Structure 1
Amino acid sequence: MNLAWIIFVLIAIGQVKTDPVTENDREVVNITNIDILIQSLESQKWNSDETPCFNTMMKTLTHAKNFTLWAVWILDSIQLPIGQLYGAGVHIGNYDECLFPDKRMDVNEDMPQFKYCVNNLTLTEKLDEESYSRDPDVTADLYLNKRTKFRRSLTKALWGLCVPSACEPHSVSKIARAFLQISHLSPMDDTTRIEVAYCKTGKPEEYSLGFYIFVLSVTAFSILTISFSYYYSTGRSSSDTFVGELARSFCLTRNMKELTKLRDDEIYSMNLMRIISSFLIVAGHVIIVNSLHSTVNLLDSEEMAYKTSDFMIHLDLTTDSFFTISGLLFMRGMFTDKWKSPLKYMWKRYIRLMIALGFVTAYLALAFQYGIDGPLYDTIPREEIEACQTNWWHSILMIHNVVDARNMCNLVSWYVPCDFQLSIVAAILFCIYQKNKSLGITFLSATFTVGTVLSGLANYWYKFRPNPMDGFETYPRHSKEFTDNFIKPYTHASPFLIGAVIGYIIYTYKPKDYRKRISKFWSYVAVAIALLVMRLCLYGGYYYFFVSTVPSAQSGVYAAFNRAVWSTAICTIIVVCEYGDITILQKSFEWFPLVPISRLSYTAFLLQLPIELYYMGTLRTLVQNDYYQLTILSIGFSIMCYVGSFFVWLLVEAPLININNMLTYKTWKNVREKSVTSSDKQD
């Protein structure tokens, strides 16, 4: 029986088909990223009003699976977050590929329309620095718990995506979340907040009436300058007539000579100081601009900044060099003014400051937006443009550093109203001094004391740091240290007044009559001490940012006196170069090209913001921030600022200054009177 059963089983097995299984018999399923993305999109909660957006996105992904050109094109423009842990806080993708596919392929009516949307991405709202860890085996969220050296959070980013035009902001954030869920950052999906910052369609803005007015005005000035220059060169005009003096005001040759003319009372030592200060300010702003949005290697960039921070972090002191020089020139000018009219002199100074400021303000408010486009344009550049369009009149009145300062036009122009306000104070002190010298000195001392004390008290009372640097996450416009303290006139009163005192000394003891009164030994000693003091002042910024981070009475005392000490060191170098015997510096300062470049520094200072905004607003990719890149950008921006300043001087600034002097002092009549007097003497 058992044998029969065994035989039966063997026969049955022999009847079973044993053909091998081939690849065609097995169902092969290929899961792609697009399939996962489709699942992520479907898992979002979509409302009925979001159906057009959802359907368009699903259509795009379906066509992308079939490798249809237009759909692959759109997905190819999208970049998942990369380098977030290394500080790359902006993920742009390909802006032009998203918005302008018609430039490289034929677009038909069946192809959906897309727009470029930038999202604010916050991976976690709460930072727990106590649980921060660099252990490679811990979860990555622990590494993100601590801010960087310059107080940047690695959990925040801007993320640009190409999405259907039919999508509203709440739908865009769902698409962004779906993409986040297929990225390496998906474990933080539950804690991540996504908000749409802005969207761009790529359609150019229509030119406004203000744009045409600005362009026509610049064109008119250019035509007038060329026409009057030619008319004046023919020799048919005379300076003793209104038309002749008007032609002379626009004359390119005359204005070029005015820019390069060496005056008898030229203070050569200030020229190089202005240029160096201007370059250092531009370099500092380049670091800030790159670190805010456009640096692919923020952590390396911060390490570089940290190594030089004992020198660079308190570079705002270089603005006090400008205040010192401005106070010196203002007070010397008041004493040498041949008209002896403080009101006329103040009006002349207002015009001198206002023309360049007004030109840059008008450019930012009326024309700048039409020449710039890019994925980051709607961040800081758009904010600056809107501030100028709203508060341009604050600039005209010279009050934008004290009235609605957070919305001032041209952020770097805070210097101009602050300088003018301090000029008013100095003019009042000048008038008092002219009436009663002892009373004038008393008021000067009191004003200096009040400015110094207020600066220290404000820092101590409101818990401000002595320098306005607030790290690489906060734009200065949104920093209380900057808008509520640093740009106020009392903060810079002491440098301006110290410069004013030196201006009076130079007026009284004219350098050409007192050359080399200080011996060579003491000249070198004084300059060495001044440089050492300046170095210590710069180190204070590092100390109170990295070492003593909590504002205290000590930091308040430093804030009260550091700018006055810096100004004193600057004045020491000026005095030694004018009255001492230090040939190396004197020869360097007297190099002729420094004279015109120095005179262009004011307008160049104002032009740096539009140039930096254009750089940021047109960026298509992040940059590597290192010493080489910083040097190239700083030199390039500085050259562009001075070249722009040169053209503004020839076409706008110099002609309007000349016209103001012509109308204020009736210069053509004075020429006629001098001519008559000369004829009488000859007779």
Structure 2
Amino acid sequence: MKLTLLNLTLLLTSTYGYVTNNVKFTETTTKLPDDNISEESANKKTSVNVNESSKSRSNYIYLEDVLVGLKLQNWTEEEMPCLNQTLVLIRSLQNFTLWAVWEWDSVSSQPLGILSGNRYQLGNFDQCMNPPWLKTHPEVQSQYCLAEVSLERTDNAKKRRLDDIKPYENALDFIQHHTPNYRPLSYLTWGACVPAVCQPRSVERLVSAVLARSHLGAAGLRPRIAVSEPCQQRNSPREFDGVFYAFIAVMVVLAIVCLICTIITARKRENDNSLSLDICKAFCLKENSKDLLRMQKEGIEVIYGIRYLTICFIVMCHQAGMLNSGPISNGIGVDKELALSPFAVFLLHDDVFVDTFFVISGFLMAKTITSYKRLPNIFVLALKRYIRLVVALAVVIFYVCAIFPYTGSGPLWERFKTGETGACRANWWVNLLMLSNYVNTDNVCIVVSWYIPCDFHLFVLSCITYALYKRWRYLGLAIASVLSIASIIAPGVVNYVNNLSAVQLFTFDFVADPRANEQFQLAYIKTHTRAAAYIIGFFAGSYFNTHKSEKDLMLSKKRSLVGACAAVVIMLLVMVSGTSYLWRNYSPTEGALYAALNRPVWAVGLVMLILCCSFGKVPLLKSFLSWYPWVPLSRLAYGLYLVHTVLIIRNVGIARNPVYYDNLSVFMSSLSVIALGTFYAYIIWLLAEAPINNLFMLLVKRRKVPLKPSAPDNFVESQPGTSCAKTGNTNTGYLHDNIKENLNISSKM
């Protein structure tokens, strides 16, 4: 009997020890209720603690599965420090040690929202990069890495189109199928917070082990993972290179010179005609600001409003496209909206807005060059045009190379920084030589800068053709006719031969990486495929300059209104018809025909609008587009065109997590980019554009080269005889010169 009692006592003791030794968290152990607690309360508390204990146990099992998955992989000798540190991390995580939980908590253990188009699983970048013990405990330092994940099926099921999404269909079919012009759901960008000793190959193993324990791994999707970018560490030194200091020095020197010249100019007498004063006037901030306010009343004032409103539309479209290419949580919804929403008309085929600038540039070029009684040196005209275009471009390229890398941070920042700064540091010389739309187009510096060499090429070609026309009339007409016909045929031929889409649609595939887009390189940015709009604008400008003084050509109010309405309808039809190629089938011949005609038709519509407003009276529209505040803004449109993408890319590149895309947010963000970009354009104008252009005009004047009227600018109309290039004359573009003294306030703009 005693022996039996002894055995029973030992059994109870050992059982108690076994239970208590396996409890990881004492807070979740179930305790007997006190005597003063009701039975119902005790049962409720016991139930909660049991659930918490079960949850902790499931988390424990999950970590054990990850641990087993890591050990089963083939680790090389170089990767062993990473494996050992990861094992320490997981064991510390099981004990809920702060540093381990801090690091693990900054990683997405499960992909979220991939069915709605959320590609970016970025976790918490700042939590990973900024632990409180960063400087005191380097042994637990972490790093942030980006892994590109491609989800592949293990059963090789047949892909099929899901026209009608049904709740009981296989989700793998939905994920795996890539609908044309929609973003793929089988690609993820995964942010991982891992020990600092881990190499890229080791990071791939860690992400693979985590994904294998997720619902995607359980569903039969096999991840293919690649870490191709260097991981980011908080203690990595941010060193400023020589290019950074060079940019700061140049801009500071320019600012000081402009300030000193402004002070000197203000103290000099007006009748001082010395060369030194002319040079000071070239840098004078006050005089150059006055130049922005000068308005040339020649009957085409509507171009001021058209120019600035067009660049505003372009900024909004680029804001929408670049935001769509970044981390957004509702990507599939955005793709559907672009395919079905009325807003798609202004977003998918918005590239015709750029043709507006080609039309205006050709129009002003013809208006100016046909005004010469004796054609000046073509080389001087081309050089002036080159300087006008290249100064602001050089400043922006310099900024992207020198300052842009230090303006942000984030999980995607290194990728954006490398893409923009790397391209500019490698190909800045191509841009300055006006060859960026033909040379190294897959790595072009500042994607939107393709327009600038196109404009310059067409300007030079127009000068040569017109010079031939003035010397040998029929030869010039023949060459102009051949160029005009070729400019219309070339886009269609390029489209047909390369089997391209009828129009460059701004879908996800394009906005995600425009540099790698085949149609962008072959057709979108080439001078020979974008010349038609410029040539049509040139003919319209020549016609206007020849007949502007003929009263017989003046249109009645009714005719001008009908013509303006017809012009707007034509341009809308071009945009609507282009969008239709997103969702309907068409033959290659039809696509080539549309590619050849859509830009010329748009240009014809715009020319009709300008001429109806110039030769007639279009109520409200003409007054609005000729509104005086458009004058200074339109002269800053070129600078805004150059800087706006830099601002947008910076805003998208510093994103920490996906945002919800909606049209109102895009509109509000666009307004801020337009306002800030216009301000930066003004600074560039004061410190670089205006001074250098004025110095060139001063040099031309001293050499007595006839250059009046001056050559037009692409976004800014011709600027003959600016004050800083004159001697002893006051500026003729000041606000006082454009507003009458007896000004009557009217509600009409």
TM-score (norm 2): 0.83
Partner of residue 222, structure 2:
191
Q: Which amino acid aligns with 1:206?
A: E
Counterpart secondary structure, 1:415? helix
Partner of residue 159, structure 1:
190
Q: CA deviation at 1:110?
A: 5.5
1:492 to 1:131, Cα distance in 2 relative to 1, 3 A: closer
Counterpart secondary structure, 1:159? strand
> Which segments of 5 or more consecutive residues in structure 1 lack a partner in the other structure?
1-11, 677-683
Partner of residue 120, structure 1:
148
1:291-312 CA-partner distances (Å, limit 9, x unpaired):
2222111112223322122342
Partner of residue 180, structure 1:
211
Select the residue among 368, 373, 394 that pairs with 1:358: 394
Select the residue among 519, 523, 535 that pairs with 1:485: 523
Matched, 1:528 2:565: yes
Q: CA deviation at 1:663?
A: 1.5
| Equivalent residues in 2 for 1:30-429, closer than 5 Å | 30-32=57-59, 33-80=62-109, 81-101=111-131, 104-105=132-133, 107-109=135-137, 111-124=139-152, 128-130=158-160, 132=162, 134-148=165-179, 150-187=181-218, 191-198=222-229, 199-202=231-234, 203-235=236-268, 240-265=273-298, 267-306=300-339, 307=341, 308-336=343-371, 340-429=376-465
Q: CA deviation at 1:673?
A: 11
Q: CA deviation at 1:236?
A: 5.2
Select the residue among 650, 653, 664 that pairs with 1:628: 664
Q: CA deviation at 1:148?
A: 4.3
1:213-235 CA-partner distances (Å, limit 9, x unpaired):
11100111111111110110112
Counterpart secondary structure, 2:215? coil
Tell me, in whole angstroms, the C-alpha distance in 2 between the residues paired with 1:437 and 1:335.
Answer: 14
Q: CA deviation at 1:258?
A: 0.5
Conservation of the 8 A alpha-carbon contact between 1:381 and 1:613: no
Tell me, in whole angstroms, the C-alpha distance in 2 between the residues paired with 1:603 and 1:141.
Answer: 48
Tell me, in whole angstroms, the C-alpha distance in 2 between the residues paired with 1:16 and 1:70.
Answer: 45
Percent identical among aligned pairs is: 28
Partner of residue 595, structure 1:
631
Q: CA deviation at 1:239?
A: 5.6
Partner of residue 8, structure 1:
none
Conservation of the 8 A alpha-carbon contact between 1:118 and 1:158: yes
1:145 to 1:266, Cα distance in 2 relative to 1, 3 A: same
Tell me, in whole angstroms, the C-alpha distance in 2 between the residues paired with 1:270 and 1:444.
Answer: 25
Tell me, in whole angstroms, the C-alpha distance in 1 between the residues paired with 2:205 and 2:643.
Answer: 41
Counterpart secondary structure, 1:229? helix
1:207-260 CA-partner distances (Å, limit 9, x unpaired):
111111111001111111111101101125866222111110011111111001
Tell me, in whole angstroms, the C-alpha distance in 2 between the residues paired with 1:272 and 1:675.
Answer: 32
Conservation of the 8 A alpha-carbon contact between 2:161 and 2:179: no
Conservation of the 8 A alpha-carbon contact between 2:449 and 2:642: yes
Tell me, in whole angstroms, the C-alpha distance in 1 between the residues paired with 2:554 and 2:472.
Answer: 30
Tell me, in whole angstroms, the C-alpha distance in 2 between the residues paired with 1:243 and 1:36.
Answer: 80
Q: Which amino acid aligns with 1:586?
A: K
Counterpart secondary structure, 2:370? helix
Q: Which amino acid aligns with 2:466?
A: F
1:664 to 1:484, Cα distance in 2 relative to 1, 3 A: same
Counterpart secondary structure, 1:555? helix
Q: Which amino acid aligns with 2:577?
A: G
Partner of residue 679, structure 1:
none
Partner of residue 518, structure 1:
555
Q: Which amino acid aligns with 2:143?
A: K
Counterpart secondary structure, 1:137? coil
1:23 to 1:155, Cα distance in 2 relative to 1, 3 A: farther
Q: CA deviation at 1:628?
A: 1.4
Q: CA deviation at 1:462?
A: 0.5
Tell me, in whole angstroms, the C-alpha distance in 2 between the residues paired with 1:43 and 1:504.
Answer: 77
Tell me, in whole angstroms, the C-alpha distance in 1 between the residues paired with 2:407 and 2:271.
Answer: 42
Conservation of the 8 A alpha-carbon contact between 1:70 and 1:111: no
Select the residue among 577, 602, 621 that pairs with 2:613: 577
Tell me, in whole angstroms, the C-alpha distance in 2 between the residues paired with 1:369 and 1:508.
Answer: 51
Matched, 1:499 2:537: yes
Q: Which amino acid aligns with 1:94?
A: N
Q: Which amino acid aligns with 2:116?
A: Y
Tell me, in whole angstroms, the C-alpha distance in 2 between the residues paired with 1:598 and 1:514.
Answer: 29
Conservation of the 8 A alpha-carbon contact between 2:99 and 2:140: no
47-56 or 283-292, which moves further after superposition? 283-292
Partner of residue 434, structure 1:
470
Tell me, in whole angstroms, the C-alpha distance in 1 between the residues paired with 2:249 and 2:93.
Answer: 49
Partner of residue 9, structure 1:
none
Q: What's the Cα RMSD here?
A: 2.9
Partner of residue 732, structure 2:
none
> Which segments of 5 or more consecutive residues in structure 2 lack a partner in the other structure?
24-56, 707-723, 730-749
330-339 or 261-270, which moves further after superposition? 330-339
Tell me, in whole angstroms, the C-alpha distance in 2 between the residues paired with 1:236 and 1:667.
Answer: 25
1:600-639 CA-partner distances (Å, limit 9, x unpaired):
1111011112111211221112111011111112222222
Tell me, in whole angstroms, the C-alpha distance in 1 between the residues paired with 2:158 and 2:414.
Answer: 32
Conservation of the 8 A alpha-carbon contact between 1:91 and 1:160: yes
Tell me, in whole angstroms, the C-alpha distance in 1 between the residues paired with 2:634 and 2:319.
Answer: 21
Conservation of the 8 A alpha-carbon contact between 2:564 and 2:613: no
